[in-house]
Amino acid sequence: MIVIALIIIFVVSLYLYGTRNHTYWLERGVVHEAPLPLFGTEMSRFLMKRSMAQFAADVYCNHPKERFVGGYRACTPTLVIRDPDLVKRIIVTDFKHFYARGFTPAHKWMEPLLRNLFFADGDLWRLLRQRMTPAFTSGKLKAMFPLIVERAERLQARTLAAAAAGRTLDARDLMARYTTDFIGACGFGLDADSLNDDDSEFRKLGAKILNPTLQRAVVSVFKSIFPSVFKYNKFLGQELEDDILSLTKQIREQRGYKPSGRNDFIDFLLEWQQKGKVTVESLEKLKADGTPEAVHLELDDIMVAAQAFIFFVAGFETSSSATSFTLHQLAYHPEVQKKAQDDIDRVLVKYNGRLSYDAIKEMTYLEWVFMEGMRIFPSSGFLMRECVKKYTIPGTDVTIDPGVKITVPIQAIQNDPLYFENPSEFRPERFSPEEVAKRHKFVYLPFGDGPRICIGARLGQMQSLAGLAAVLAKFTVSPTPETRRELISDPRSTIVQNIIGGIPLSFTERTAIAVSLDDENKRSQ
């Protein structure tokens, strides 16, 4: 009898725990999806049947007449935003109410590698953002370009070997190797050489970071449902943390813990450590007179590893995704591919065949192609924010509290016929200045916007356009019998979308092309 009573008490307690807050949106008169105990409205995501991008798109499409739609991540209230004006308010105008990304359920503790610019919130984010912005100036990017050219040549060589042998290549893997090599050089001063070495340790590290795993999925679910109980469980795992810490320590030791003159990202972090603490006005703390307190940050070994980690992840994975998705579209749209190749040829002839920073900036049509590729299939299909101060949604009497999670389903918005006519059509001309001026700015957000816009957006676009130019200058891409016309996102994807089955493409050497990078290098020797 006692056992039965204990079971009943346990079940009732679990139910009450798993349904707390589930009347939040009902009490505010907000249209919302029906929650389930423990899982809220995101059961399909927790069971790895839908990725976050897919789930957010489903909610967006299921409620076409709403400005916003309520839901629950386990028992935490969530809000999917459908209205571009409200998107602007949240990520720009009213940023002080939504400066947190809200990826980490337990704010008092973060696993070491997540204490980086992307995942950090509040004062830690502001301190990191202020100090790291100088690492991505136009001058810094231009200085990095010779490293891109070297990797672009290796990209062409690997593709040529496959084309000559009649082999198909997985575009996702090919472009990941290219971006891995570039990030290895400009970030860590290493020659990863993954374009030549299939067993490159640096490439294996990238795969270890980003390949979806059951362990990460399970940790994510339990941290969402029982945040207090599982707050110390690491999403990334101890092995990966040890690998990153070891890598950054080894490089810094080799440089004597002083900048080496390479001007790479590790040098930038070493310079920061030499300069000492950085100080900013607090987002979270006020003095008695209502003015912000001053807060400080010194970069310790863990923080160095965390910033190097996010530079590595964001630098290679988002760009490799975007470029491979774009190549996939070009394979099915040969007329667009021809226009892009003509644009590349025109510019390379003007620059005597030399791929350069200025040459890339003149490849206007190629840039439109890339932007259209990111519109249809952005690397990350959503943006996340968290309410940090009570906020009344403009035009309503709905007030939301701190802790409410905000999702902007950018992939769904960017494929909405309300904003992009015939959205499934691949039409780069949508990004001509005339067309861009006609539409709402906040219906196209592949890099986000506002104070938390991707700090490396220009670096990512530069290496992406250079990689596409290097490939298309020498090769024509086409589908293979194994290529899927519609890409399928892996439901286990977290932030960046992984593709089921990869993106196999055929690369055929062009017979009539502009002066190649190789030819130019031979003449200059």
Q: Residue 36: beta bridge partners? A: 40
3-state secondary structure 367-395: HHHHHHHHHHCCCCCCEEEECCCCEECCC
CA distance 159 to 33: 48
Task: Decide: 407 and 60 in contact? Cβ < 8 Å.
Answer: no
User: Of 114, 52, 25, which Cα lies nearest the Cα of 306?
Assistant: 114
Task: Decide: 57 and 381 in contact? Cβ < 8 Å.
Answer: yes
Q: Which residues contact 405 (CB under 8 A, 6 or more apart)?
A: 73, 76, 77, 78, 79, 102, 384, 385, 386, 387
User: Of 382, 407, 398, which Cα lies nearest the Cα of 72?
Assistant: 407
Task: Decide: 430 and 420 in contact? Cβ < 8 Å.
Answer: yes
User: Of 150, 140, 143, 137, which Cα lies nearest the Cα of 355?
Assistant: 150
| Half-sphere CA count of 156, side-chain side, radius 13 A | 22
Q: Amino acid identity of 351?
A: Y
Q: Which residues contact 145 (CB under 8 A, 6 or more apart)?
A: 356, 357, 462, 466
> Strand, coil or helix: what is 270?
helix
> Strand, coil or helix: what is 103?
coil
| DSSP assignment of 313-379 | HHHHHHHHHHHHHHHHHHHH-HHHHHHHHHHHHHHHHHTTT---HHHHHH-HHHHHHHHHHHHHS-S
Q: Running DSSP on this structure, what letter comes out for residue 36?
A: B
> Strand, coil or helix: what is 109?
coil
> Strand, coil or helix: what is 209?
helix
CA distance 521 to 475: 19
Q: Running DSSP on this structure, what letter comes out for residue 199?
A: T
Q: What angle do CA 387, 388, 393 make, to 5 degrees?
A: 45
Range 276-309 burial, b when 16+ CB lie within 10 A, else e: eebebebbeeeeeeeeeeebebebeeebbbbbbb
Q: Are strands 292-297 and 399-400 parallel, antiparallel or unpaired?
A: unpaired
User: Of 411, 416, 335, 418, which Cα lies nearest the Cα of 373?
Assistant: 411
Q: Is 454 annotated as a binding residue?
A: yes
Binding residues for heme: 454
Binding residues: 454
